[in-house]
Amino acid sequence: MKQLFRNSCLFAAIVLAAGCAAIRLSPAGSATNAEVWLTKADGSVRLERQEDLPLSKGAAGDIYIDAGKRRQEIVGFGAAITDASAILIQTKLSPAARDGLIAELFGPSPGLNFSFTRFPIGASDFSPAHYSLDDRPDGSGGGSSRFSLDPAREYLIPTLRKALDANPHLTIMASPWSAPGWMKTSGALIKGTMRDDAFGDFAAYLRLTVDGFADEGVPVHYISIQNEPDFEPANYPGMRLSAGQRARLIGDHVGPALATARGRTKILEWDHNWDQPSQPMAVLTDSEAARYTAGVAWHCYGGDVSVQSEVRALFPDKDVFFTECSSGGWSAPWPDSFLWIMRNIVIGAANNWSRGALMWNLALDETSGPHLGGCGNCRGVVTIDGKTGAVTRNPEYYALAHASRFVVKGARWISSSCPASLSCAAFRNPDGARVLIVLNESEREARFRVRENGRGFDYALAPAAASTFVWR
């Protein structure tokens, strides 16, 4: 595989890429030039390398980089490996195309270097059937002796293992869409909340999940106790859990259970939208729950990304993660989705303390599936044609790549003053390279000077376009 990465054209053929230009060997940057990678929001240019920019001396600038002002350490960028994504990757691609696509997405440059992913514990709406890892048709309770990872062994676990092979430093998060039905007031995976007498059973269920996946070679680094706990879907697994319930679950049950698990799985609270910051704040003000909670996870379907900073200001010892957003048929892929994701997820989440950012489905087919209930017009980072296996790289792919391919795990967010006409975020990689991402949403070309310690470069960014710059 290392030899494969040395030949970008061979790699392109294997992963079905459109051509070699978009995946030329990427970037270490240099002390004399800045590398430039460009995407235009109309899709006419997609993550293509431009001419290097000479670094020159000069004090005046429009964007000032200050690497002395550092904040969060970056875990990475990526997307969720749902049942739908895993099934498509495992069954609709030839072995060579499957391995090539996973290497393209998770492997190092010229791959996209995704280093963060998430998977559902049991079914989500992007599963061909609704199930948990401890289904009991008779509704009986009393422990988790019927727990089984068999539903995950056919497609999900092999895909996660392949991703880990491509990127051994991959950080993995897991989230349940519902507790097993026998633990709930509804007696089913759909709707309802958790029974008061099932809190201990649910904690055991999550611990068995974490230990079981670890035994399968898939470490779970982070977990939330419920995906979108303030929402009860009508036709796919879900479970409403109040802030009080979550605080008791974490503080009295799940936290102590995971503390004795074989791994070092950390708990992320909320895993829901920006529009209800009072919910995670209520959990974090509970001393027992806060003791076991590493941070807050956010979704994009309501509110504003700035809320991440507001909550972190009140709880500065807690991490921030952005863990779900989906694009779909409700907006135009180019330019709308690309611009929105660049502004809010790639740039906005990082500027508001996020250590990692995830889109929703890694892969869907041409019918936005397979799914059972839920979203019928969502779009994956890539589309895999269910009949031909052809792979289409969507705007989400290129937006994430502007960060994931250049900002490596262990990088630090650094300060970048940015004029109001632009959006930007900057990072310092562990090897000292600077990475600057700039978005121009206007209809006019944007000319600006980037400066750090009296040295930098000048650039003219096309209208409705984004560029990533790398230098030392």
| pLDDT tens sequence across 167-202 | 999 999 999 999 999 999 999 999 999 999 999 999
Whether 228 is catalytic: yes
**Nearest CA among 121, 109, 117, 212 for reference residue 169:** 117
Q: Show me where the domains of the chain are located.
A: 32-71+414-471, 75-409
- The pLDDT, as a whole number, for residue 73 is 98
Task: Tally Cβ neighbours within 10 Å of residue 423.
Answer: 21
Q: Are residues 368 and 314 in contact, defined by beta-carbon separation less than 8 angstroms? A: no
- Strand runs labelled E in 104-204: 116-121, 171-176
> Per-residue pLDDT for 435 more than 60?
yes
Q: What percent of the chain has pLDDT over 70?
A: 92
Length of the chain: 472
Cα angle 290-296-297, degrees, rounded to a multiple of 5: 150
Q: Are strands 382-384 and 391-393 parallel, antiparallel or unpaired?
A: antiparallel
- The pLDDT, as a whole number, for residue 28 is 62
- The pLDDT, as a whole number, for residue 141 is 63
Tens of pLDDT, residue by residue over 97-150, are 999 999 999 999 899 999 999 999 999 999 999 999 999 877 666 555 689 999
Reported confidence tier of residue 1, pLDDT bands at 50, 70, 90: very low
Sign of CA dihedral 454, 459, 465, 468: negative
Task: Give me the residues paired with residue 361 across strands.
Answer: 80
Task: Give me the residues paired with residue 438 across strands.
Answer: 424, 467
Topology classification of domain 75-409: TIM Barrel (3.20.20)
CATH number of 32-71+414-471: 2.60.40.1180
Tens of pLDDT, residue by residue over 345-392, are 999 999 999 999 999 999 999 999 999 999 999 999 999 999 999 999
pTM, rounded to two decimals: 0.93
Tens of pLDDT, residue by residue over 15-60, are 333 333 333 334 466 789 999 999 999 999 999 999 999 999 988 8
Tens of pLDDT, residue by residue over 284-333, are 999 999 999 999 999 999 999 999 999 999 999 999 999 999 999 999 99
Whether 443 is catalytic: no
Query: What distance in Å separates the CA atoms of residue 270 and residue 276, rounded to the nearest whole number?
Result: 10
Q: What percent of the chain has pLDDT over 90?
A: 89
> Per-residue pLDDT for 413 more than 70?
yes
- The pLDDT, as a whole number, for residue 23 is 34
- The pLDDT, as a whole number, for residue 20 is 32
Q: Write down the catalytic residue from 228, 269, 441, 452.
A: 228
- The pLDDT, as a whole number, for residue 137 is 78
Residue 23: both structure tokens together: 């995946």
> Per-residue pLDDT for 5 more than 60?
no
Q: Give the phi and the psi of residue 334 in degrees, each rounded to 5.
A: -115, 120
Q: Write down the catalytic residue from 324, 396, 441, 452.
A: 324
The mean pLDDT value for 407-424 works out to 97
The DSSP line for 230-249 is: T---SSS------HHHHHHI
CA dihedral angle for residue 155, residue 76, residue 215, residue 103, rounded to 10 degrees:
50
Query: What distance in Å separates the CA atoms of residue 53 and residue 34, rounded to the nearest whole number?
Result: 5
Tens of pLDDT, residue by residue over 205-230, are 999 999 999 999 999 999 999 999 99
Q: Give the phi and the psi of residue 234 in degrees, each rounded to 5.
A: -85, -25
